[in-house]
Amino acid sequence: MSSSSNEEVTSYSPGWSNVDVNKMLAPATTQASIKLSIQSVNAWFGKKHAVKNVSLDVKENSVTAFIGPSGCGKTTLLRCINRMHEMTPNARSDGKVILDGFDIYDKSTDSAMIKRRIGMVFQKPNPFPTMSIHDNVAAGLKLNGVRDKKLIRDVVEQSLVSAALWEEVKNDLDKPGMGLSGGQQQRLCLARALAMQPEILLMDEPTSALDPIASSKIEELVQQLKEHLTIIIVTHNMQQAARVSEYTAFMYLGELIEYDQTKDIFKNPHKELTEKYISGRFG
C-alpha cells in the first residue's frame, strides 16, 4: 500500500482556484490545536440515557463527522455542544465541553453567548418566513443589538458570498426568504449562521432534505469554510462522511465506539462494530 504522495497537487478547475487542494486532501495535522474538548458528556431525555459518557477532542480547522444508526445519540451530542439540548423540555446533560480552554457549561456562562460563538445549521432549512433574504441573514446581528446599517450590509454580503449564494440573490435581497429553492434556502440558513462569525459550525444532517446537486454544493462549501472554522457535521450518509470529513466518530446506542481519522476508519477500523456498520451489515 503506497503512502500518499507529498507532492503539490495543483488546482484542476477554475471554480476551485481559491481553494488549497492540498489542505483539502490532507487532514489537519496532528500538531493542530484542539478547538473543542468534549469530556465525559452524558445527556438524558427524561429517563432515557441518550448519550453515555462521551469524550473526544475536535481539532481546529478540521471537519469532524458523527456517524451512526438512527437513535445512536449523534444529534443529541451535537446539540450538547452548543447547549441547545437543554432547551428541550425534560432534557438534561452533564459533563464538560471545553472551548478554547473554557468550560461552556460553567455556571457563569451565558448560554446565549455560547450560541453566538458556535453556530448551527439544521436538517430542514428554516429561514424566517416573514423576512426578506437580507433580513434573514442579518437577523442574528440585528436582534442581538447591532445597529450600524452599513456594517450589517457588509456582513450580509460577506456571509452570502461565503455561502456561495451571493451571485444568485444579489439583486433580490428584498425578496422573501421563502421564495428560494430548497438548496438555496439551506445556503441562506448557512449564511445566516455565518453572519454571526462563529468559530465552530455545527451541521445537523444539512443535506438530508436536499437533492444531490444541492447536497454537493453544501459539501464543497464545507471544504472551503473549514479554513476559517471548525466544523462538526452529523450525517447518516456514510459516503458523505467519507467524502467530507477528516475525522469520524462512530456512535452506537449512545456510546462512542470509535473516533479516528476518516481514512483509517474507512480503510481499516479497529472495532468490529464499526466495520459492520460502515460495511452496511446493519443499521
Question: Which residue lies nearer to other proteins by CB, 126 or 208?
Answer: 126
Taking CB under 8 A as the criterion, which residues in 29-48 touch other proteins?
46
Q: Which residues pair with 51 in a beta bridge?
A: 43
Pairing of strands 63-67, 91-99: unpaired
- Please tell me whether residue 226 binds other proteins under the rule CB under 8 A: no
To other proteins, the closest distance from the beta carbon of 253 in angstroms equals 21
Q: Which residues pair with 255 in a beta bridge?
A: 252
Closest CA to 148 of 138, 133, 137, 157: 138
Separation of alpha carbons 91 and 47, rounded Å = 9
Q: Which of 99, 133, 221, 238 binds other proteins (CB under 8 A)?
A: 238
Contact 194, 117 (CB under 8 A): no
Structural element, H or E, at residue 259: strand 255-261
Contact 242, 267 (CB under 8 A): no
Among the residue ranges 18-26, 68-76, 218-226, 235-243, the one whose residues contact other proteins (CB under 8 A): 235-243
- Please tell me whether residue 247 binds other proteins under the rule CB under 8 A: no
Closest CA to 187 of 221, 150, 236: 221
Separation of alpha carbons 205 and 188, rounded Å = 16
Question: Which residue lies nearer to other proteins by CB, 111 or 181?
Answer: 111
Question: Which residue lies nearer to other proteins by CB, 8 or 272?
Answer: 272
Taking CB under 8 A as the criterion, which residues in 78-97 touch other proteins?
82, 84, 87, 89-90
Cα torsion 272, 27, 6, 20 to 10°: value is 140
Q: Which three cell numbers stand for residue 166?
A: 451571493
To other proteins, the closest distance from the beta carbon of 240 in angstroms equals 11
- Please tell me whether residue 271 binds other proteins under the rule CB under 8 A: no
Question: Which residue lies nearer to other proteins by CB, 34 or 139?
Answer: 139
Taking CB under 8 A as the criterion, which residues in 118-157 touch other proteins?
119-120, 122, 124, 126-130, 139-140, 143-144
Count of residues that interact with other proteins, criterion CB under 8 A: 41
Question: Which residue lies nearer to other proteins by CB, 46 or 182?
Answer: 46
Separation of alpha carbons 162 and 168, rounded Å = 13
To other proteins, the closest distance from the beta carbon of 134 in angstroms equals 15
Contact 278, 107 (CB under 8 A): no
**Which chain residues interact with other proteins by CB under 8 A?**
1, 46, 82, 84, 87, 89-90, 112-116, 119-120, 122, 124, 126-130, 139-140, 143-144, 189, 192-193, 196, 238-239, 242, 266-269, 275, 278-281
